[in-house]
Every structure is written in structure tokens, then in C-alpha cells.
Homo-oligomer: A and B are copies of this chain.
Amino acid sequence: MTVTMEVCLDDVRAAHERIRAWIRRTPVLTSERLDTESGASLYFKCEGLQEIGAFKARGASNALLSLAPAALAAGVVTHSSGNHGAAVAWAARKRGVAARIVMPRNSSRAKLEAVRSFGGEVVLCEPTQKAREAAAAELVARTGAEFIHPYDDPRVIAGQGTLALELLEQQPRLDVLLLPVGGGGLASGIAVAVKALSPDTRVIGVEPAGADDAKRSFDSGVLTTLAQPNTQADGLRAALSERTFRLMRRYVDEVVTVSEESLVPAMRALWRSLHVLVEISSAVPYAALLERQLSLSGKRVAVVLTGGNVDLDALPWVVATTPAGASSPPR
């Protein structure tokens, strides 16, 4: 498969055919209580119920299944401190090839263990964006492995977009779709599919205020990156790429931010009423509902719950109550 610069509905459809046997058609849940509290009809797409606990299974599956055996002979490489690493390790094992995952030294034990449990080889590096990119590039150069970027890759973007195909089958009439924005792979892929199939559905990206590079880029029209994102939502610290920024500008309607203080209440509200425990990063779109900053009364609103890889021994409200000054925002 040629790596093209853009992604269209046909790519997403082809991805869905390709990965259908590997991924789960995750359920869409509703909650009478959350509907009452929000005044909207909410549809929660529960991607935490993928085998690896996150939507990243989609993009990684599509990348692995797009590659010809010859291209896979030397295995695959990626860098990730989170779910993409586990997803690539899992998909590579299903494809029968080796996966090396570059991860920062300070990754949590749970995340390192997840990658290894799917058969991935962890390669540790210093905890900077530069160091992880350099380590991955060095591995690719030395081994000839195929690099699978966490989001700046049309195969990954098209794979993430398959979520929207399922969601629109499960709930065809949607006024609004809320999703979290990190590097923009999910937002791009979903928006491409939604705007082709249901153009009147507003696609709204949500970011924590401490990692608002997409919001700044969107508002200014110029791709903007932050020197140091500052948020508990570790899955959303990544910066947009030129590619995801371009796709988002074309297909996403709006980007809004939520305050850091809303994230734990959103995570807890989802657990209390939906009985689904999501990562703090995955609580971000619901935080926008809690903050009531969007006019959603009476609307049919889909909320993408991206992942459920929560470390039960380090719940964010427990971490948050350690003595002040003990550390910078938890990873």
C-alpha cells in the first residue's frame, strides 16, 4: 500500500474490511441518569472494551494488515508511552512478526507490562519527544523494520476512522460527536468518515486546557506546538502533525478545551452512572458536557470513550492527593 498524504472515506471503508476479524465492534451504551443530568441523549462508544483496552487496536491492525509480508520481514517499530505501543505489539503478534516499542524510561510499570504481555520488545529511551524519535529512527535504520507512527500515518488514521463507521451503523442519527484530541489521528479518521456519511453531524474535538495545541492551531490557522503540555491526561499530550492538522481543519467543526479540574469528576461520573471505568484522557469529552460549555440540550450526542487502561493501584484522585510538591503532574 502506498502511503498517500490524505485519507478519504474509501480508505476508512477498506480499513474496516481489512481489520474486521481482528477488532471488536464495541457497544454503544446509554444512561438514563446522564441523559437527565445533561439534558441531551448521549451515546457512549466504549472503545475500552477492545482486546487491548483502547481504540488504538484499530489503527495498529490496519497498519499491520496493510503491509505485504516482504515489508514485515524485519518486524515493526514504534514509539509510544501508552496504548499505541500495546496495540502495535498485539497486532504484530497476530500477524506473526516482531515488534519493538520505544518507551520512555519513566513509563509506568503497568504500561511496560502491557506491551510485554502482548509479546512486544521494549526499548527504553530518555523521556523526551526527541529521544524517542531518535531511538525509533535508529532502530529502523539498523534493522530495516517498518515504522508505524502513533498518528501521523494514513493507515493508522484510516484505521481509527473505522470507529465512526460502526458508530453510525449503531446510531445513525447524531447531531454531535465529541472526541478527545491528542495527536489528532482519531479526530482526523473519525471526522473524515462522519463528514462523508453524515455531514450535518458536528464533530467537536476536546482537549485539556494544559495541552491545547489543537485549539491554538485551529483558532490561529497555524500549526502550533506547546513546549511543555501540562495535564494529567497523559494520552493527550502529543502534538498535532502537519497531516492531522490539515485533516482536522478540513473535517472537524470545532475544538474546545476543558479545565484540568473537570477531568476526575468526569471520570468518576462515567463510572458512577455508566459503570465503565475510563482513562483520565478518555474522560475529557465528557468533561465538556459537565462544564456545560456547549449547547447540547435536546441533541443526540455521541461521546467516544477511547480507552480503559486504568491502573487501579494509581487512580488519579489518589495520586492527586499525595503531598503537594511531591511531583509534577503524574504520568
Contact = CB atoms under 8 A, between A and B. Distances in A.
Given A33-B117, A49-B274, 13 more contacts: A24-B29, A27-B49, A29-B49, A31-B51, A33-B51, A49-B275, A53-B275, A268-B312, A271-B312, A275-B309, A277-B277, A277-B312, A312-B315
Interface string A1-36: 000000000000000000000001001010111000
A59 interface: no
A276 interface: yes
A48 interface: yes
Interface string A148-181: 0000000000000000000000000000000000
Contact of A27 (B27, B31, B51, B268): B27
Contacts of A268: 312
A308 interface: yes
Among A27, A117, A268, A275, the one with the most B-chain Cβ atoms within 10 Å of its Cβ is A275
Interface of A: 24, 27, 29, 31-33, 48-51, 53, 117, 268, 271, 274-277, 308-309, 312, 315
Contacts of A274: 49
A235 to B, nearest CB: 15
Number of copies: 2
Contact of A275 (B31, B48, B117): B48
Contacts of A31: 51
16 contacts: A24-B29, A27-B49, A29-B49, A31-B51, A33-B51, A48-B275, A49-B274, A49-B275, A49-B276, A50-B275, A268-B312, A275-B308, A275-B309, A277-B277, A277-B312, A312-B312
Contacts of A49: 27, 29, 274-276
A117 B308 CA distance: 25
3 tightest CB-CB pairs across the interface, nearest first? Answer: A275-B308, A53-B275, A27-B27
A24 B275 CA distance: 13
Nearest to A318: B313
Nearest to A113: B272
A99 B7 CA distance: 55
A122 B117 CA distance: 46
Nearest to A25: B27
A117 to B, nearest CB: 7
A298 to B, nearest CB: 21
A248 B265 CA distance: 43
A30 B29 CA distance: 18
A17 B138 CA distance: 62
A271 B110 CA distance: 13
Nearest to A93: B32
A49 B312 CA distance: 19
A51 to B, nearest CB: 6
Contacts of A312: 268, 271, 277, 312, 315
